[in-house]
Amino acid sequence: MKRKVQDAGNDAERASHRRMASTECEACVEEECERFARVDAWLSTCDETSLRATLDAVRDDEEYIVCVGRKADVLMKRMACGDPDDVVSELASEIFETCCARAPRGVRFPSAGETQHGRFARCATGSLARPLELRLRLPREEVGETTKAISGMVWHSSLCLGRWLSRRETMDWMREFREGRGGGGRCLEIGGGLMVAGMTFAAQCGDGWTSIVLTDGDANAVENARYNVHKQRRHVERFAAQNVEVDTLDWNDDEESFESRSFDVILGADVVHQEDMAGGVVRAIDRYLAPDGIALVVNPAPHSRGGAATFQSLLADGDWNVVKRSITNSIITVGIEDECEDVPLDFYVIRRSKNADAAALPPLANLE
C-alpha cells in the first residue's frame, strides 16, 4: 500500500513538471497584454491621475517602458503644449526621462515599433512536497538578432540541478552541512545565465545562509538576473527573505574582484559546452571553493557537449575528490529531451581532498 501511495505521488510530480518545465509562461504573456491595455488606457486619458499611475508603473517595473514606448508621441505632445507650470506637462516629461534612463538593453525608447517585448519562461524546479515555479524573463536582445544568446536559454542541466536541490533529503542535508560549518554559509553560482539553479537554491535551501551570489560573465545576463531576482522577491515569499546578490564573474580574469572570497557551496549547470571552457570552470572552482566546501555541477555527458571530456580529465589530474553520477530519475528529468535520453546529464560532486570523508556526501541516490 505504501508503495502505491509513493508511486502515485511520483506520477503527480512528473505530471506537474511536464506541464511547466521550460515552457513559455502563459501567465506572463497575459500580464504583458494587461500592461499594454493599462498603459493604452492611461495615455488615452493623459490627465494628472493617469500620468501619475504611468510614472509609478515605469519606476516599479521596467516592462512598462516597452508599453509606454509605443505611444511616446502622446507624451511628447503633452510635453510640447501647455504652460511650463502645467502639472500634466511636467509629469509627461518626467515619464519620458525616466523611461530613457531606465530602458534596459535591447529596448529602444521611444520605440517607434522597434522595441523587443519581454519574453518569459516558467521553470518547474520544485518537488511535490516543496513546489516551486520560477517565472523568469529571458534576456532582451537587440531587435533583429538572428541567434539566441546562450545566457538567454533555459538549460536542461539547470532544471535538473534545481529539482535535485528541491528534494526534501537534499534540503535536509544542506541545512546540516551549513550548521556543521558554524551556522552561516556562502553559496556561489558560476556561469548561471538565467540563474535557475541559484534562484532555486535561494528559495528551497537558503534559510540561514549568509549570502547567495549568482554570477555570469555576460553583463546582459547579469542585468536580466537582477530584474528576475527583484520579481522573485515579490512573488515567492520564501525567496524574499534570502540575501541574494547578482554580480559579474569572468573566471578567466586574473583581476577578478571575487579573488578574496571563498564559498562553501558552488553551483554550476551546463557550464562546459565548448572546449575552451573546461579549464576556466576548474579554475573558478579552485579559486573560490572553501577548503572543506563542495561544488555541485550538472553537465551533459562528454559525447553531447564539447569540452566535457576535458573537464573530466582536468578534475582527474588535479587533487580533487570527484564523485560522478548519471541523472536518470524520471521525476528530475521529465519533460527534458525525452527524459534526457538524447542528452544524458552527469552530476558531479567535487571536493578538494582525494581523502574526503565519503559520509559527508550529499544524497545522490535520488538521481537514479
Q: How much of the chain is helix, strand and coil, in % rounded to 5?
A: 50, 15, 35
Burial class (CB in 10 A: 0-12, 13-18, 19+), 337: middle
Same domain assignment for residues 61 and 194: no
Same domain assignment for residues 218 and 357: yes
Same domain assignment for residues 346 and 203: yes
- For residue range 7-17, what is the model confidence (pLDDT) as tens digits? 555 555 555 44
Average pLDDT over residues 153-175: 94
Using alpha carbons only, give the angle 304, 308, 310 rounded to the nearest 5 degrees.
Answer: 140
Pairing of strands 133-137, 120-124: antiparallel
The single residue listed with the C-alpha cell 534576456 is 139
Residue 14 lies in a domain: no
Residue 141 lies in a domain: no
- For residue range 341-357, what is the model confidence (pLDDT) as tens digits? 578 899 999 998 766 67
Domain boundary among 102, 131, 160: 102
Same domain assignment for residues 266 and 160: yes
Query: Hey, what's the cell of 11?
Result: 506520477
C-alpha span between 155 and 24 (Å, rounded): 14
Q: How many domains does the chain have?
A: 2
Same domain assignment for residues 67 and 196: no
Residue 52 lies in a domain: yes
Q: Which of residues 336 and 119 earns the better pLDDT score?
A: 119
Residue 4 lies in a domain: no
**Mean pLDDT over the full length of the chain:** 85
Residue 20's pLDDT band (cuts 50, 70, 90): very low
Q: Is the pLDDT of residue 127 over 60?
A: yes
| All residues at 6 or more sequence positions from 188 whose CB lies less than 8 Å from its CB, including other chains | 213, 215, 263, 265, 266, 267, 288
Residue 275 lies in a domain: yes
- For residue range 189-229, what is the model confidence (pLDDT) as tens digits? 999 999 999 999 999 999 999 999 999 999 889 999 999 99
Can you tell me whether residue 352 is helix, strand or coil? coil
C-alpha span between 336 and 248 (Å, rounded): 28
The single residue listed with the C-alpha cell 553583463 is 219
CA atoms within 13 A on the CB side of 199: 31
Please report, for residues 40, 121, 156, 259, 268, the alpha-carbon distance to residue 246 in angstroms, rounded to integers and kept in the order given: 34, 20, 21, 16, 15
Domain boundary among 102, 123, 141: 102
Same domain assignment for residues 330 and 195: yes
Average pLDDT over residues 72-78: 88
CB 367 within 8 A of CB 164: yes
C-alpha span between 296 and 309 (Å, rounded): 17
Domain boundary among 86, 102, 118: 102
Give the predicted TM-score (pTM) of the model.
Answer: 0.87
Same domain assignment for residues 331 and 271: yes
The single residue listed with the C-alpha cell 559527508 is 360
Helix or strand run (H / E) with residue 50: helix 48-60
pLDDT value of position 273: 86
Residue 96 lies in a domain: yes
Same domain assignment for residues 180 and 45: no
Same domain assignment for residues 42 and 177: no
Distance between start and end Cα atoms, the chain: 23
Same domain assignment for residues 84 and 158: no
Average pLDDT over residues 275-303: 92
Q: Which of residues 119 and 169 earns the better pLDDT score?
A: 169
CATH of the domain at 333: 3.40.50.150
Q: Residue 287: give the domain boundaries.
A: 150-367
Residue 259 lies in a domain: yes
Angle between helices 278-288 and 308-317 (to 10 degrees): 40
CB 22 within 8 A of CB 159: yes
Same domain assignment for residues 87 and 199: no
Residue 132 lies in a domain: no
Same domain assignment for residues 69 and 168: no
Closest CA to 188 of 312, 297, 280: 297
